[in-house]
Protein backbone atom coordinates (compact mmCIF):
# COMPACT_ATOMS: atom_id res chain seq x y z
CA UNK A 1 0.00 0.00 0.00
CA UNK A 2 1.47 3.36 -0.91
CA UNK A 3 -1.44 5.74 -0.67
CA UNK A 4 -2.84 7.13 2.56
CA UNK A 5 -5.86 4.97 3.26
CA UNK A 6 -8.67 4.52 5.74
CA UNK A 7 -10.61 1.54 6.96
CA UNK A 8 -13.62 2.90 8.83
CA UNK A 9 -15.99 0.72 10.87
CA UNK A 10 -19.49 2.10 11.33
CA UNK A 11 -21.01 -0.11 14.00
CA UNK A 12 -24.32 1.77 13.82
CA UNK A 13 -26.65 0.71 16.70
CA UNK A 14 -25.27 -2.80 17.01
CA UNK A 15 -22.76 -3.22 19.81
CA UNK A 16 -23.28 -2.71 23.53
CA UNK A 17 -20.43 -1.80 25.84
CA UNK A 18 -19.30 -5.37 26.60
CA UNK A 19 -19.39 -6.37 22.95
CA UNK A 20 -17.36 -3.30 22.02
CA UNK A 21 -14.67 -4.06 24.59
CA UNK A 22 -14.60 -7.71 23.52
CA UNK A 23 -14.00 -6.61 19.91
CA UNK A 24 -11.21 -4.20 20.78
CA UNK A 25 -9.51 -6.74 23.02
CA UNK A 26 -9.47 -9.10 20.04
CA UNK A 27 -8.17 -6.34 17.75
CA UNK A 28 -5.44 -5.57 20.27
CA UNK A 29 -4.05 -9.08 19.84
CA UNK A 30 -3.69 -8.72 16.05
CA UNK A 31 -0.38 -7.48 14.68
CA UNK A 32 -1.31 -4.41 12.65
CA UNK A 33 2.24 -3.18 12.24
CA UNK A 34 2.67 -4.23 8.58
CA UNK A 35 -0.29 -2.28 7.30
CA UNK A 36 -0.21 1.51 7.48
CA UNK A 37 -3.89 2.00 6.72
CA UNK A 38 -5.73 4.08 9.32
CA UNK A 39 -8.42 2.27 11.26
CA UNK A 40 -11.28 4.40 12.55
CA UNK A 41 -13.89 2.74 14.74
CA UNK A 42 -17.25 4.47 15.13
CA UNK A 43 -19.08 2.95 18.11
CA UNK A 44 -22.11 4.31 19.96
CA UNK A 45 -21.83 7.72 21.62
CA UNK A 46 -22.19 5.97 24.99
CA UNK A 47 -19.08 3.89 24.58
CA UNK A 48 -16.81 6.41 22.88
CA UNK A 49 -15.45 7.88 26.09
CA UNK A 50 -14.17 4.52 27.34
CA UNK A 51 -13.13 3.16 23.96
CA UNK A 52 -10.90 6.11 22.98
CA UNK A 53 -8.50 4.82 25.65
CA UNK A 54 -7.65 2.04 23.20
CA UNK A 55 -5.74 4.62 21.14
CA UNK A 56 -2.93 4.09 23.63
CA UNK A 57 -3.22 0.32 23.42
CA UNK A 58 -3.57 -0.24 19.66
CA UNK A 59 -1.23 1.57 17.29
CA UNK A 60 -2.84 3.09 14.19
CA UNK A 61 -6.39 3.12 15.52
CA UNK A 62 -8.66 6.09 16.03
CA UNK A 63 -12.28 6.72 16.93
CA UNK A 64 -15.22 8.57 15.48
CA UNK A 65 -18.79 9.40 16.43
CA UNK A 66 -21.67 8.40 14.18
CA UNK A 67 -23.28 11.81 14.35
CA UNK A 68 -23.19 15.20 16.08
CA UNK A 69 -25.78 17.93 16.60
CA UNK A 70 -26.02 20.96 14.30
CA UNK A 71 -25.90 23.59 17.08
CA UNK A 72 -22.89 24.26 19.31
CA UNK A 73 -24.70 24.34 22.68
CA UNK A 74 -28.01 24.83 24.40
CA UNK A 75 -31.42 23.38 25.11
CA UNK A 76 -31.40 20.39 22.79
CA UNK A 77 -32.42 17.49 24.98
CA UNK A 78 -30.69 14.26 24.07
CA UNK A 79 -28.22 15.74 21.62
CA UNK A 80 -24.39 15.65 21.61
CA UNK A 81 -22.25 18.64 20.63
CA UNK A 82 -18.97 19.01 18.77
CA UNK A 83 -17.22 20.26 21.91
CA UNK A 84 -18.45 17.24 23.91
CA UNK A 85 -16.84 14.95 21.34
CA UNK A 86 -13.65 17.02 21.31
CA UNK A 87 -13.42 16.91 25.08
CA UNK A 88 -13.22 13.10 25.19
CA UNK A 89 -10.51 12.86 22.52
CA UNK A 90 -12.76 11.82 19.64
CA UNK A 91 -11.13 12.77 16.32
CA UNK A 92 -13.69 11.93 13.64
CA UNK A 93 -17.40 12.20 13.07
CA UNK A 94 -19.69 10.69 10.44
CA UNK A 95 -22.02 13.28 8.93
CA UNK A 96 -25.01 12.82 6.66
CA UNK A 97 -25.22 9.05 6.71
CA UNK A 98 -28.14 7.98 4.52
CA UNK A 99 -29.84 6.33 7.49
CA UNK A 100 -29.92 9.72 9.18
CA UNK A 101 -31.06 11.42 6.02
CA UNK A 102 -33.79 8.89 5.22
CA UNK A 103 -34.91 7.47 8.57
CA UNK A 104 -34.30 10.53 10.76
CA UNK A 105 -35.15 13.22 8.24
CA UNK A 106 -31.83 15.09 8.16
CA UNK A 107 -31.64 17.61 5.37
CA UNK A 108 -28.70 18.83 3.31
CA UNK A 109 -28.93 22.07 5.28
CA UNK A 110 -28.70 20.29 8.66
CA UNK A 111 -25.62 18.52 7.35
CA UNK A 112 -24.14 21.79 6.10
CA UNK A 113 -24.50 23.31 9.59
CA UNK A 114 -22.76 20.29 11.09
CA UNK A 115 -19.97 20.44 8.50
CA UNK A 116 -19.30 24.06 9.37
CA UNK A 117 -19.14 23.38 13.12
CA UNK A 118 -16.94 20.33 12.62
CA UNK A 119 -14.64 22.12 10.18
CA UNK A 120 -14.02 24.85 12.75
CA UNK A 121 -13.34 22.31 15.52
CA UNK A 122 -10.62 19.76 16.17
CA UNK A 123 -12.79 17.02 14.68
CA UNK A 124 -12.52 15.78 11.12
CA UNK A 125 -15.63 14.98 9.10
CA UNK A 126 -16.53 11.76 7.31
CA UNK A 127 -19.20 13.12 4.99
CA UNK A 128 -21.54 10.51 3.49
CA UNK A 129 -23.14 11.07 0.13
CA UNK A 130 -24.89 8.84 -2.37
CA UNK A 131 -27.95 8.40 -4.55
CA UNK A 132 -31.05 6.30 -3.88
CA UNK A 133 -32.15 3.52 -6.22
CA UNK A 134 -34.82 5.73 -7.74
CA UNK A 135 -32.32 8.52 -8.34
CA UNK A 136 -29.95 6.04 -9.95
CA UNK A 137 -32.70 4.68 -12.19
CA UNK A 138 -33.69 8.21 -13.16
CA UNK A 139 -30.05 8.94 -14.00
CA UNK A 140 -29.86 11.67 -11.38
CA UNK A 141 -26.75 10.42 -9.61
CA UNK A 142 -24.46 13.26 -10.63
CA UNK A 143 -27.08 15.90 -9.81
CA UNK A 144 -27.60 14.37 -6.36
CA UNK A 145 -23.87 14.14 -5.63
CA UNK A 146 -23.35 17.71 -6.73
CA UNK A 147 -26.18 18.99 -4.55
CA UNK A 148 -25.01 17.02 -1.52
CA UNK A 149 -21.37 18.12 -1.80
CA UNK A 150 -22.03 21.73 -2.72
CA UNK A 151 -24.52 22.21 0.12
CA UNK A 152 -22.24 20.53 2.66
CA UNK A 153 -19.24 22.64 1.61
CA UNK A 154 -21.12 25.85 0.98
CA UNK A 155 -20.80 27.54 4.35
CA UNK A 156 -17.25 26.45 5.09
CA UNK A 157 -14.59 29.13 5.09
CA UNK A 158 -11.70 26.98 3.88
CA UNK A 159 -8.83 28.58 5.69
CA UNK A 160 -7.28 25.82 7.70
CA UNK A 161 -5.73 22.54 6.86
CA UNK A 162 -8.05 19.65 7.54
CA UNK A 163 -8.55 16.01 6.74
CA UNK A 164 -11.93 15.42 5.15
CA UNK A 165 -13.20 11.99 4.22
CA UNK A 166 -16.02 11.77 1.72
CA UNK A 167 -17.71 8.39 1.67
CA UNK A 168 -19.58 7.57 -1.50
CA UNK A 169 -22.32 5.26 -0.27
CA UNK A 170 -25.04 4.50 -2.82
CA UNK A 171 -28.14 4.05 -0.67
CA UNK A 172 -29.22 0.97 -2.62
CA UNK A 173 -25.93 -0.79 -1.82
CA UNK A 174 -26.07 -0.27 1.95
CA UNK A 175 -26.82 -3.44 3.88
CA UNK A 176 -28.06 -5.27 0.78
CA UNK A 177 -25.08 -7.54 0.17
CA UNK A 178 -24.81 -6.06 -3.33
CA UNK A 179 -22.00 -3.55 -3.68
CA UNK A 180 -21.90 -1.13 -6.61
CA UNK A 181 -19.87 -2.43 -9.54
CA UNK A 182 -16.27 -1.33 -10.00
CA UNK A 183 -17.36 0.48 -13.17
CA UNK A 184 -20.10 2.40 -11.35
CA UNK A 185 -17.83 3.29 -8.45
CA UNK A 186 -15.05 4.43 -10.81
CA UNK A 187 -17.47 6.60 -12.71
CA UNK A 188 -19.16 8.14 -9.67
CA UNK A 189 -15.94 8.74 -7.78
CA UNK A 190 -14.67 10.64 -10.83
CA UNK A 191 -17.82 12.74 -10.75
CA UNK A 192 -17.17 13.46 -7.07
CA UNK A 193 -13.54 14.43 -7.79
CA UNK A 194 -14.68 16.84 -10.47
CA UNK A 195 -17.20 18.47 -8.17
CA UNK A 196 -14.55 18.92 -5.47
CA UNK A 197 -12.00 20.25 -7.94
CA UNK A 198 -14.40 23.07 -8.67
CA UNK A 199 -14.45 24.14 -5.03
CA UNK A 200 -11.53 26.04 -3.56
CA UNK A 201 -10.85 23.75 -0.60
CA UNK A 202 -7.37 25.29 -0.11
CA UNK A 203 -5.03 22.96 1.76
CA UNK A 204 -7.60 20.41 2.87
CA UNK A 205 -6.68 16.78 2.38
CA UNK A 206 -9.75 15.19 0.89
CA UNK A 207 -9.90 11.41 0.72
CA UNK A 208 -12.59 9.40 -1.01
CA UNK A 209 -14.03 6.24 0.50
CA UNK A 210 -16.52 3.76 -0.83
CA UNK A 211 -19.24 2.25 1.38
CA UNK A 212 -22.08 -0.18 0.69
CA UNK A 213 -21.79 -3.97 1.13
CA UNK A 214 -17.99 -3.97 1.21
CA UNK A 215 -16.77 -7.42 2.23
CA UNK A 216 -13.75 -9.68 2.08
CA UNK A 217 -14.60 -10.77 -1.45
CA UNK A 218 -14.93 -7.39 -3.15
CA UNK A 219 -12.57 -5.14 -1.14
CA UNK A 220 -9.39 -5.55 -3.16
CA UNK A 221 -11.16 -5.02 -6.48
CA UNK A 222 -12.77 -1.84 -5.27
CA UNK A 223 -9.59 -0.61 -3.58
CA UNK A 224 -7.74 -1.10 -6.86
CA UNK A 225 -9.67 1.90 -8.22
CA UNK A 226 -7.10 4.69 -8.15
CA UNK A 227 -9.28 7.31 -6.54
CA UNK A 228 -10.64 5.06 -3.78
CA UNK A 229 -8.72 5.72 -0.56
CA UNK A 230 -10.52 3.22 1.64
CA UNK A 231 -13.85 2.02 2.94
CA UNK A 232 -16.72 2.87 5.24
CA UNK A 233 -17.93 -0.52 6.39
CA UNK A 234 -21.15 -1.45 8.16
CA UNK A 235 -22.15 -5.13 8.41
CA UNK A 236 -18.71 -6.57 7.69
CA UNK A 237 -17.14 -4.38 10.38
CA UNK A 238 -19.18 -6.05 13.11
CA UNK A 239 -17.04 -9.16 13.25
CA UNK A 240 -13.34 -8.69 13.79
CA UNK A 241 -12.60 -11.51 11.36
CA UNK A 242 -14.49 -9.99 8.42
CA UNK A 243 -13.24 -6.48 9.24
CA UNK A 244 -9.65 -7.65 9.37
CA UNK A 245 -10.08 -9.54 6.09
CA UNK A 246 -11.03 -6.25 4.41
CA UNK A 247 -8.30 -4.29 6.19
CA UNK A 248 -5.67 -6.65 4.87
CA UNK A 249 -6.72 -5.85 1.31
CA UNK A 250 -6.09 -2.14 1.71
The three-class DSSP label of residue 247 is helix
- Phi/psi-derived region of residue 154, left when phi > 0, alpha when psi is between -120 and 50, beta in every other case: alpha
Please tell me the distance from the alpha carbon of residue 21 to that of residue 80, in angstroms, as a whole number.
Answer: 22
Please tell me the distance from the alpha carbon of residue 104 to that of residue 124, in angstroms, as a whole number.
Answer: 22
Catalytic residue status for 49: no
> Considering only 25-33, 84-92, 198-206, 233-241, which stretch makes contact with ligand 13P by CB under 6 A?
233-241
Q: Is 106 in the site for ligand 13P (CB under 6 A)?
A: no
Of 74, 78, 17, 11, nearest to 243 (Cα)?
11
Nearer to ligand 13P, 43 or 234 (CB): 234
- Contacting residues for 35 by C-beta, under 8 A, at least 6 apart: 1, 60, 247, 248, 250
Smallest distance, ligand 13P to C-beta of residue 238, A: 8
Print the binding letters for residues 20-49 with ligand 13P: x by CB under 6 A, - otherwise: ------------------------------
Active-site annotation holder among 86, 97, 227, 241: 97
Catalytic residue status for 106: no
174-203: which residues touch ligand 13P (CB under 6 A)?
174-175
Please tell me the distance from the alpha carbon of residue 70 to that of residue 85, in angstroms, as a whole number.
Answer: 13
Print the binding letters for residues 135-174 with ligand 13P: x by CB under 6 A, - otherwise: ----------------------------------x----x
Amino acid sequence: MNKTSFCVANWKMNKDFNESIFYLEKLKKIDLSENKSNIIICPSYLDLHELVKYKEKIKGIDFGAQNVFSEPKGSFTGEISVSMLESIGCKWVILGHSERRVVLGETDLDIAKKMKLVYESKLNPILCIGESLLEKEQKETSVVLKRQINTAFNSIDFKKNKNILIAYEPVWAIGTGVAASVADITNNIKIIKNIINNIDTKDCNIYLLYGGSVDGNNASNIFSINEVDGFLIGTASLSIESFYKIYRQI
